[in-house]
Structure 1
């Protein structure tokens, strides 16, 4: 009898707590390693190509597992998380899967949207991309509406991701809502401002989705203190996107007193419109001499918009783009260097999906896969020639669909990029 009581007491106060502790650790481990299935949008153009979409909480990894037999062999995906902050998903292509990582500044519940741009994610230098069509933007979302994931840690994502320079934080009065990708339906395309009445309140066109988010830099850089005692003349070279950057930079500098830093835009050098709108133009010594005459101390060059546009009826091939940039960089380093002018390049901006880029075949090629390839070429050559590249993807990449006119960052994103 006494032995039974002792065993009962021993079990209650020693064995069972041990069992509960083991059970709790097991539950914690399951929670830590838990995977969550993200619902598939069955109306998506590639829904039948997908086995499942899975979120790995511990590793902050999203996996889109593809069926072995599929129409869309290498889908180019764009993913955005929206909640306490905005975050862009960076994707890696595998044989039968696309794996995404992200970097968050705040933990919490996030809406997740993944869209498919086209089925040719692995573009090569020799590939002719003129006939590659985008997936229908009305059916390109592969995740179900209002799908969410929970980020368990503050800094989530792959260690391979570089630390972002900042993030867009939610500062709205209400709870965050899903930030869906903005696009221009074909029926809403007009060369003038006479947009059909039916498009006035159409959800895909709405810009207010970005209003609750404000950008905060990761470091407490005081621009006024940073520029104190500095002097010089910064020249943006390129087409209209360079002009917009010069405009935003000039406004920022005008608000800071007692500095001797000025800004100019070299697109209308000597009265010639867009002297450097194509990468090929920068291979001409006469063009670079016009830049030098602007008396710049620093030159920031951006190309790619016109190269991928419909202005000449067809885009600049990747092979030609790389060839032009290589010649241009060598010439710029030589001629600007002789005049003690510092040379910089900047990444090419994305533009939102519009009626021209989503036409089939396209009549404008400024879509994310093409811009990514141009930027990859620029980054590789800048590294080879030891030229500093300003990559502002942390700022404008996650709000890539924000441009009101479907091209230019004449908004908060443009101002933050200039800062």
Structure 2
């Protein structure tokens, strides 16, 4: 699709090892053994398999317990993806090339869409990451204990920890490359644009979680049942409003920092610090209260999320370990093969946060119900009352 091969994308594609002009079609399947390196299919299998499991279990949860929250979250995240990403891939086709040049390019994976722009694993990572973060927060009873907004902030924080482990590794292993000359990507935080660290790792899942809990989750907690049509329109609205939230939430940095990269970077950092401080305090407090046997909400556990969070973190730790020798030999933030490296210390901090959040779900509930109970709150209340 040479007419949509912008010079920036062509340059990024070449740096990743493929030709923009020869990049597939609407759908393309490649030999996984012929990809840029062995880490690409490992990442692809981990993310796609997890997303499929999350979808299957969301359907099972709806059918068994009448709780559509996870299903709406899954499809709301994918709706958000298809609203946000295509304009970033084809700014000229959407008439925004004068304002937004190509920001990044994904490498080609086993299954590709949109002429080498959209790997299947990217479609999958949105609902998978959203499910892991949302359910960890839900298991700690934050939504029912502190409300929709605070719960959403906590989801953004947890998602940030999981996502940045992946985000700081991708450029080195050629999963994607950023356009470092694009002003929208400035300032850079080593190999990752700070706007990505804040907006796509923390603020968009916060926006999505707020919409999902406001339109569906809080009503399910009160015992309401939705028809299929109601769930469809609410999911569409969630995708639209979550996209709008991603534009609104970072406005202080994008507007006030319009004339200065430094000011923009500081304001992005301040937003992230606020999210971190609020979420950390709330999550720790919830865990302490639950450990003391003082739950103000019935226990809720999602075994899949607990298990797959561990799987994800183990795979990421393995991939980081494989990349570490080249990382340590990098000079001025660039490996011998010319690939930029992420921030190891920030990644380690994110590993610690993610591990603590997962551990909290295993250790929180000491009383007040069956810890393996995964039915909706109103069903548990009725059972216990009887």
Same-fold status (TM-score > 0.5): no
Normalising by the smaller structure, the TM-score range is: under 0.3
Larger RCO (CA within 8 A; separation ≥ 6): 2
Q: Could you tell me the TM-score, scaled by structure 2's length?
A: 0.24
Bigger fraction of residues in strand:
1
Tell which structure's C-alpha radius of gyration is larger.
1
